[in-house]
Structure 1
Amino acid sequence: MFTIVSLVLLAAVALAQQPHPCESPRQFEGRFSIYDEDRQFRAFGRFAYDDTNRRFREIEEMEIGRDREYYDRLYLHNLNLEYRLNLRTRNCTITTLTRPWIPFAVPQDARFRGEGVIGASGIPDEHVTIANFDGTTDGNPYFIIATIEDCVPVTAGFYSNSTGGVLRQFYDITLSTDAKAFTPPAECHPNVTV
């Protein structure tokens, strides 16, 4: 009997030590950078993210080759709409979304691939411990790196035939969002709130 109890306890301890995906914040905002080498595309800006309602907004400076553009983009996957405001011309286009919802959170079925330290290990306040995960969503491969303590995303990579490969980095994160961040720009739909 003692042997059976010992084996059950040993199995429970072993399972408890298996890394499980952490739970990322459902809403946050901050700054980002994107790089897509295939299309010679770079973007920098601010964003607001709401996984609960599948909404994402980015105000960005894009660099494609030698050209620069400035956009305010609001992706409302809950309504299947994209609002794109050109900040130079103030021209707004509203289209049906064709790209999939890309969660910037660690999915529960993600595979843990290891952990490491960004910064100078062993020096207080000069490093953060991160975990690496990967998997597929809608048949498309992704990877995500998140902080160990709060599961805040640091880097996310995604590939699909429609988007190609995209690498996005997150920084200056605040664990909240302003609800107004998901209101379409006035130039797109006066007096509309979502």
Structure 2
Amino acid sequence: MIRLLAVLTCLLAGCSAQRPHPCSSPPLLSGALTVSTQNEKGWAYAQYLYDALGHRIRLKELGIYENKSFTYDALLLYRETTMYEIVDSNRTCNKRPLKTDFQPLGIPKTASLLGQAVLGSSSAPGEGILVNTWTGDLPGKAGKFMSTVTEFGCIPVSTVYHTDQFGWMTLSFFNNVIGITDPSQLNPPDFCPDPSTKDSTEEPADFLSFFLKKH
């Protein structure tokens, strides 16, 4: 009986609550995101497909760079170190080298917890969502990041990067859905160059510069 009372007291006191831990986002995600830059030269909205199992990302982007609007469609195949720039309207496709390693969504084990908060309201059930915010170093000490994910599911909410080259850059995720309804979108269209075809002579692309390139 004493042991049972001790357990109940512990639960009522909240001692069962655990400190948030680094986490991995679901391996298959789709949704939308916005990108903005510190210098305000660029802003973009993109629909995304994310496949951590095959190390593939598809981004269909609409944005503004230096007061000029653009559309952009890219398929990033990290295992093949290849990126395809796709234009469905005229069935053209440019194959470029991809120089960075695949970085899964989520929070790396080396990150530090900044805090926990409720987005929305905690006044009533369904009015808010519990999130955790973390900070750490980008791979290769290329800069700093601050990422917010949901406490349950580790769904990305926002990530802020800082690099010497680009300054601050913010990605905000929304309308996230676990799974991919059309996996064929993560394969190069039939009008794209064969994987064995020589890459273009352009500079190798990476994930951050993809959003900030001059379209």
Given that 2:74 and 2:86 are in contact with CA atoms closer than 8 Å, whether structure 1 keeps it comes out as yes
In structure 2, what residue type is equivalent to 1:110?
A: A
Match for residue 181 of structure 1 among 185, 197, 203: 185
| Other structure's SS at 1:138 match | helix
1:182/1:59 CA distance change after superposition, 3 Å: same
Q: Distance in 2 between matches of 1:127 and 1:150?
A: 15
2:146 is the counterpart of 1:143: yes
2:77 is the counterpart of 1:73: no
TM-score normalised per structure 2:
0.73
Alignment map for 1:116-155 (pairs within 5 Å): 116-136=117-137, 137-139=139-141, 140-155=143-158
TM-score normalised per structure 1:
0.80
Q: How many residues align?
A: 178
In structure 2, what residue type is equivalent to 1:138?
A: G
1:160/1:76 CA distance change after superposition, 3 Å: farther
Structure showing the higher strand proportion among its residues: 1
Unaligned runs of 5+ in 2: 1-14, 197-215
1:110-169 Cα shifts (integer Å, max 9, x gaps) = 211111011122133221110001111221321210001111000012233455532111
Give the deviation of 1:38 after TM superposition: 2.3
Alignment map for 1:86-165 (pairs within 5 Å): 86=87, 90-136=91-137, 137-139=139-141, 140-161=143-164, 164-165=167-168
Q: Distance in 2 between matches of 1:80 and 1:191?
A: 10
In structure 2, what residue type is equivalent to 1:174?
A: V
Given that 1:71 and 1:87 are in contact with CA atoms closer than 8 Å, whether structure 2 keeps it comes out as no
Unaligned runs of 5+ in 1: 1-13
1:92/1:164 CA distance change after superposition, 3 Å: farther
